[in-house]
Amino acid sequence: MAKPEGVVAKPGSSKKYKTGSWRTKKPVFKHDKCTDCRICVMVCPDGVIFGADKEYHADMDFCKGCGICAEECPVNDIEMVLEVR
């Protein structure tokens, strides 16, 4: 059966498309001044930040390195660093 016009991916299929290779910078969670506000979790457009008790991480298979988490962290506890491959 042909795909409907405009459809580029089937719903629910994004998990298999790993986008981490798109990054030029990566977020480093410093685990220093974190206040557990969870703003980074809420603002990540890819929904790839997880953690609790002031220990947050990003799933690097999917993080695209946009830097929004670092920009929005109110205590600057996330730093964007150059991705080295």
Q: Does 83 bind ligand SF4 (CB under 6 A)?
A: no
**CA separation for the pair 51, 53 (Å, rounded):** 7
Q: Does 20 bind ligand SF4 (CB under 6 A)?
A: no
Angle at 53 between CA 52 and CA 55, to 5 degrees: 70
Name the residue type at position 60: M
Q: Does 5 bind ligand SF4 (CB under 6 A)?
A: no
How many Cβ atoms from other residues are within 10 Å of residue 66's Cβ?
Answer: 17
Of 22, 24, 38, 55, the one binding ligand SF4 (CB under 6 A) is 38
Q: Which residues pair with 68 in a beta bridge?
A: none
Backbone angles phi, psi at 40, to 5 degrees: -60, -40
Q: Does 67 bind ligand SF4 (CB under 6 A)?
A: yes
Least distance to ligand SF4, CB of residue 43, Å = 6
> Which residues of this protein are in contact with ligand SF4, per CB under 6 A?
27, 29, 34-40, 44, 46, 48-49, 56, 58, 63-69, 73, 75, 77-78
